[in-house]
Structures are given as C-alpha cells and as structure tokens.
Amino acid sequence: SEEINACSIKVKAQYAGKERDMLVMFKNETHNHPTEIEPFGGAATCLGGAIRDPLSGRAYVYQAMRVTGSGDPTAAPSETLPGKLPQKKITTGAAAGYSSYGNQIGLATGQVTELYDAGYAAKRMEIGAVVGASPKANVRREAPAAGDVIVLLGGATGRDGIGGATGSSKAHTEDSVEDCGAEVQKGNPPTERKLQRLFRNPEAAQLIKRCNDFGAGGVCVAIGELAAGLKIDLNAVPKKYEGLDGTELAISESQERMAVVLDKADVEKFQLMAMEENLDACAVAVVTEKPRLRMTWREDMIVDLSREFLDTNGVTQNADAYITAPVGESYRDSVPSCLKDEALPQAFLKNLARLEVCSQKGLVERFDSSIGAGTVLMPYAGEFQLTPEEAMVARIPLEKGETTDATAMSYGYIPGIMKYSPFMGAAYSVVESLSKLSAVGANPLKARLTFQEYFERLHKEPKRWGKPAAALLGALTAQLGLKIPSIGGKDSMSGSFESLDVPPTLVSFAVTMTKTKKVISAAMKKVGSRVVLFPVPADKDGMPDWEKLREYYKEILLRIEAKEIISASVVKEGGAAAAVAKMCFGNKLGFKFNDNLTREDLFSPRSGAIVAELSSEVAIDENSVLSPKYVGVVRAEEEIEIGGEVLRLEDALSAWSGTLEKTFPTKAPENPVDDIPFFTQRTGGAPSVRTAKPRVLIPAFPGTNCEVDSARAFERAGAKAEILVVRNLSAGDIEYTIDRLETKIREAQIVMLPGGFSAGDEPEGSGKFIATAFRNPRIAEAITELLERRDGLMLGICNGFQALIKLGLLPHGKITDINEKDPTLTFNSLGRHISKMAYTKVVSVKSPWLALANTGDVHAVPISHGEGRFVADEGAMEKLIKNGQIATQYCNLAGDVRSGIEWNPNGSVLAVEGITSPDGRILGKMGHSERAGKHLYKNVPGEKDQRIFESGVKYFL
C-alpha cells in the first residue's frame, strides 16, 4: 500500500483453536545527531519515533531492541575532545533517555547491546528497532477521497524539534552541543500510550482510511503525504503555547502526534472515542479534488504548491564510488593483538574483560523487558540470569487470551570486520543476524531484514563513497545468496567530526516467526554435555558459501527441533571462548576446553558460527555441512579448565563483569536480612455478596501502563475486568472522571491499581498522583464502603503498591494520613531502575489473594521498578510480622533469603516484596504477577504463576 512507515508481514496466529489473520510490522530508527548533543532527549525520541511508524499502521508495538555505538565510556573526562560531551555522559544519558521512554510507555525492550569503537567518539550511534502487530481486520487502507477530513490526534505543537530532520544530516562541529539543542524533539510517552490504546480499539482503527505519524517535517510531511490535494488550516493546529507563526506550525517536529484520514461522517464518532482515551483530536485539513498542497494561516494562503512539483522528489544527484580491496589479515579470522602473547588462561580472562566483550548487565537491566506479558526469553538466562541471549522473542500480543505464535528479532554487526572490508562486513552482518535467529530455534530462512547504514561524511571523495557502496553490495550479495528479502531501513552519512570518522556501519536486523514451544536458550543446561562449534561454510576468500549456508541453517533447525541441540550461542567479538564462558555463567556450570583448540578457534570473531550444547547421545558427522569441531565438555564444578590450567568460575565472572561497573553499576551496599517466620493461618471471612464473576475496576491514570496486562490476567481467572481511563485535559474531564470512578467502584467487587509511572513517576514518591485522586472525598467514601461494608478486595502492583502505601491503605487497611514512622517505598539501593526475574517466597497465607498458595512456595516473578525498596523501622516490622502482614520475601531459587542485590534486587528491609492490610484483603507487591503466562520467561527456571488472580476470584465464589 502507499502507507510505507513499516514493513507488514501477513501471518496467521493460533488462538483458542482458531486462526486469526494478523499483520506483524517492524522497522528501525536512528537518532545519532540528537543523541550526540542531548543524550537523554535524543535517545528517548529515537524510541518514540520508532514506535510511531508501526503505530501509524494501527499496530501495537510490543517489543524493542536497542543497538548503540559508543566511544570508550571508561575514558577519563580529561580525554574528552573539545566541543564534545564525555563519552560516559553520552552513553549513560542516552541509556536513561531510551529506558525512560520505553519503561513509561510500557514497551518491553528485549535486547540491548552497546558496541564500543573509538570511531563512535566522532558521533554516537543510537538505533531503536521495534516489532508490532495488529489484527488484519483492524487495518483499513484506502485512497482518500475529496471531502475526507484530516484529524490531528495526540500532543500539542511547539517549537521543539524544528530543524531536527535536517540537523541529523549536518556535520557535527565544536559548536553543535551549544547551538543545536533546539533541534532535539521532546518525547511524551504517556500521550503515545493513549494513542496505542485508541488504535487497539477495533471500532476506532477501522474508521481510519490512512494515517501518518508526525516526525521529520511536521505538518508539511505528516499531512502533506496523505493525499494529492489538501487544504490545511494551520490555525486549527493545537499549540503548546501562543506566539507560533505559520512556518513554525507547519514544520515543527513536536512528538506524539498522528494525522488520520477519516470520512467526514465519521469525524465526530472518532473524536468521542479519542476523548474517552484522554486525547485531543482536532480537524485541521480536508482532502481536495485539485492536486495542490495549500496551507492557510490567519486568513493568508502561505503555501500553495502543485502535487506534480512535490512528486519530482527534488534534484537528481550522482556520485562516483571507488571500492578499495581489503589489506592485511582478515579481522574475522584474526586473534586480537592484545591476546597473542598471553598464556591461554590469562588470555582467556583478559578477553572476557575487553570492552568489546565484557558484561553489559548493568546497562541492560535498566530497560523493562517483561511488560506486556509476552516475553519468551528474558535478556539474561539461567538461575543466576548471567547468560546473554542472542535474540529477543515475544508472543504476538492479544488483548484477551494467549497464542503460541511469536516473533524473533536479532541484529548482526561487528565494527572490526566492517573496517577490514565493508563488503565482507555487511555480508557477515546479515549472516550473524540470521545465525542468532537459528540459535534460539527460529527459522532464519523465513526471515525478513531491515538495514541501518551509518558512515562518515562522504563529501565528493570516491573512496569514501566506496565504503557504503561496498557495504550495500555485500548485503545484497547475502540476500541474493540466501533468498531473503529486506525492506528499506534508514541511512545516516554524517558520522564525522573534524578528522575523526565513525567506523563503516551496516547493521542487519532480522525478524521471523516462530512457536513459543520451539524456543531454546543460550544458557548451558546439563553437566556432561559435549559442546561443539559449527563454523559458517565459507569459500577460500572467507566469504560464506551461500548454498551450503542455507543447508547449514536447515540442519541446525532440525537438530534443535529433535532436542539434539539443547542450548546455542553465536560467535562474535570474543570468539568461541567468550561464547562458551557466557553460556556457562547463567547456571554457574564449569567447563573444560579441548586441548586441541587453537588461539584462532578460541578468540577470533568468527561472526555467525554457532556454538551448540549437545544432548549426550548425539553424534554429528564431521563431513556434514555443519563440520563440527569439538570444543569441550560441561562440568559440575564451578571452574574452567583451559590451556592445562584450572580457573575459578568466579574469577572469570569477575573479569567479565568488572569493566563497566563504574559506568553501569551492578553492585550495591547490602543490608542484613533473615527469614520471616511463616504465618499459616488463613483469613476466615467471606464477602457480603458472592458471585461467580466478580467485577474488577482497573483505573488507568496518565502514565499507567500495566492496565491491559492486569485486565487480561483477571479475565483469564474468570473475572469481568473494566479499564477506566482517567481524563484530565480539562476541569470538566476531571469532574467526569470523579463521577465515573465513584460509580464504578460502587459496582465493583475488586479495585486493582496497576503498575506504571503515574505523572511520570512524580518526584519524592511514586504513586502520589493516584493517591491524591483516591483521597477525593467521594472516591475515599466509595473505597471505604467497598472494604468495610461489602468486604471487597484491593490489589496494587508496583506503582499501585506505591499508591496504596501513600493512601495508608497499606499497612493500615483504611485511607488515613501517613506519618514518618509508616512503612514506605523508596529508591532502589542500586540507584537505578531494575528489570529482571526475581524469586519470591510466600511467608504468609493470611490474605485471600494467596488462597491458592502455601507458605514456602517460591515463584519467579518479573520485576521492573526504580522505587521498590521497602523501608520500615524495627517497631513497624515487628508489628507486620506478628500480624502476618508480610506476604512475600525476595529469596533465591531454593527459598533461602539472601542479602545480596543478586537476590534482594532493590535492597528492601528484610527482603520484603509484598505486604497486606491487617485483614489480608488488601495486597500490595512489587513483582508483576499479572505478567504470568504459558511459555513466558522460558530461560529462567522456576514456577511463574502465583495464582493471585484466581485466588481473588475464588474469594467471591
């Protein structure tokens, strides 16, 4: 269709025994220039822009990947180039911006990787890639007709971002940091969350004939591309403030706006549905018969251009490209110079500590990886969550119900290979991205690709032009050889700063469909397993043999489906030695390397080669297309034997995890903890009215992002859940919300406060915004009536738990003023957001919410929060323990309470994860129990379902 904002793949998803036609959409986006000059805002709007493209196709974006390029973030500030920000400032600020946006909007970031190369000090690389989906029936794509109306939906317009699109192609100078800040757009994730909810509504989505998001070019492009003939009234464009002139209104790149084409008869209906989602929707343009783009401002016609002129696409330009031959030893097959003269054991440890190889766990955990209740593979695998996965996998999202159909997405790119040969490097970028899909059990030969190119400023120099020309030819060669198509990505040709250039960059992103039950993990599973290396079939020049590689991928897939391969990883920087070590870390298993391995076997970045753990009975023919090479055997002892020397596994872990500790910390001060005595007495009360299908009210405040997951969990348990969107755009909206909230509370048996970032996680205490609304006298009275007269239940998770604490409902059981001696939730001891799987132990079954649990039960539950540390003084803790109000504690898989951040992730007093009211009918907890589901988080062991929602429903039977 003419909507080209993202690739659409038609798929059939299985749901409740039926097939459902779906469109899966994906694309990638860069914000290199904005992130270089304003790291937080640039990275945040990189993700926002990536989301908006599939969203404009009516797709719900459910998973994101972040691939970045940075100079050395451990370098001293004194090494910073004039006119630049320090690399640590850029990389930490960008991580904060991207994660803030994704965490607020409620998007699972399934994989985060930062590539380190001195060349990225010229200009940072910031890429966001996303996957979305929509029922095909929701996507109506028609040509606009004369008389159709263009509605501008979402945020208001300001001066932010003006010149952002052209700025991304500018040369970066010493003055850019000071002069270009206004070009950086300002993201607003809560508004984009509202757009997501509206576009998931089939009734609203099916009214849209065509849609464009507002990004580069503002009104000129977003509306100007929708139809051949348009009359745009710039006076009707909503403004953030007064004083904007017509040009500013036309070219502003303010974020979180959509332009939708509607039949004139559908405009009012669509606006009413937008209003219910707390969104502005203003008619700003009409489609005209005459093919001209016209804009009026203050009664003047300030733009009047023929479509024929606009469709010329500007002036045709030509450039000469000269492709040079590679010189020297192939980087792909070479051993890093720093490892050549070291003894093998010392080289092994030094390799793990290299900036290109070391752990990035402290970076990755900042990004919510489980929201949406669709994540099949967490970013880190194993009981200890220390093995990085090769691809991100998530179920296709359904608002109700579950499917076993999933998408897998990966990337491929090694800067060193691209610097040696852009042609070979790009070809192996494709191969690496496909091998990573293969390593998780997905079919790479059914993949679709999208590329991101990033090169130095080319000027008119043929040798500089030769680098992107060679890279694109290399990628095309791989596509033709493997018979795999790609969609256009995005290019950036301004990666230079004075004499410094970014490395030649072509990142390959690959997406394919798979089944959740077929997915495998990278973590080693079994003591005694043999591990083999499957090299990429290649010709004498080191280029892949494409026909053999197709057979190679087919063979790998068959071996995984037959359970002959039980874990797999892909060789990249660090070589097979690093791949094996990281596979061992997740479950803290030891390893003995084969003595016959060469340094090249161990340390060269043989991009795309697969390291596989075999089930014990498997034998693979050495003459097969896989050409297996024996690497070694998995051991029970926590040690690694290499080069005739035995190393402690902890020493290898320390080498791997220490390099970026000061940049992205993973360690925090520890507080003493202890087991809390079990409280085994269950609540004997019963509700005043019993019902087989209790009604659950779930208010969605601005910033709430777990409402859909929570409603789905209650519906699956047998309840009837209703999401009430809080409207606050005007005084009338607030009064309307108070009326509805009071009514719905009085109709409900359960009130659930879901997670999110109410008011963007307001300062000095998350949940205050929700608490303020619930202290309204009418709402407070309705809550009191629910709890004290009708014996109803309340549940608060994460942000909702914080609100219950602020209201005094926890631990007191009623809305009351709180004082300094009351328990509270504050910043994690690590000082940052943390997302991972946490083990929790049930220590009290007093609450009806834990009616289907037993004391001592251990569950693996997703957590994702920045302020989850439970704090209370000794007196308060004694009272809570005595009353049986401590519901759950953080622990390890065996149920032992430990003080380290590894097991007590936020540093809570006595490792407290959840508490209840005195009678148990109000439960608050940090772990996201609503994110449970079949085949989720497969790479982390443990029971995932606490059956909290079933217990809540059972209470009313």
Active site residues per annotation: 798, 928, 930
Number of neighbours of residue 135 by Cβ within 10 angstroms: 19
Distances (CA, A) of 734 to 703, 726, 739, 776: 16, 8, 9, 11
- Tell me if 71 sits within 8 A of 87, measured CB to CB: yes
Tokens 């093919």 sit at which residue? 291
- Tell me if 643 sits within 8 A of 349, measured CB to CB: no
Distance CA 343, CA 338 (A): 11
DSSP H stretches of helix in 2-74? 32-37, 39-56
Distance CA 572, CA 577 (A): 10
Beta-bridged to residue 825, according to DSSP, are: 870
Distance CA 636, CA 393 (A): 29
Nearest to 86 by CA among 124, 31, 112: 124
3-state SS class at 162: coil
CA dihedral 131, 189, 122, 453 (to 10 degrees): 20
Distance CA 274, CA 280 (A): 7
Q: Which two tokens stand for residue 738?
A: 């108070």
Q: Distance between the two ends of the chain, CA-based, in angstroms?
A: 51
Burial-class residue 636 by CB neighbours within 10 Å (0-12, 13-18, 19+).
Answer: exposed
Q: Which two tokens stand for residue 934?
A: 């079949």
Longest dimension (CA), the chain: 84
3-state SS class at 840: strand
Residue 637: which residues within 8 A CB-CB, separation 6 or more?
590
Nearest to 927 by CA among 917, 938, 937: 937
Nearest to 187 by CA among 128, 144, 230: 128
Tokens 């401002």 sit at which residue? 297
Spell 74-86 as b/e; 16+ CB within 10 A means b. beeeeebeeebbb
- Tell me if 305 sits within 8 A of 293, measured CB to CB: yes
Nearest to 571 by CA among 620, 515, 533: 533
Sign of torsion over alpha carbons 634, 519, 130, 198: negative
Distance CA 439, CA 437 (A): 5
Residue 315: which residues within 8 A CB-CB, separation 6 or more?
none
Distance CA 65, CA 391 (A): 9
Distance CA 531, CA 601 (A): 13
Please spell the DSSP secondary structure of 211-234, one letter per residue: EEE--TTTHHHHTTTT-SSEEEEG
Residue 312: which residues within 8 A CB-CB, separation 6 or more?
none
Number of neighbours of residue 853 by Cβ within 10 angstroms: 19
Residue 10: which residues within 8 A CB-CB, separation 6 or more?
21, 22, 23, 136
Nearest to 249 by CA among 154, 158, 185: 158
Nearest to 831 by CA among 739, 741, 932, 905: 905
- Tell me if 453 sits within 8 A of 472, measured CB to CB: yes
Beta-bridged to residue 261, according to DSSP, are: 150, 210
Amino acid letter for position 896 = D
Distance CA 785, CA 795 (A): 16
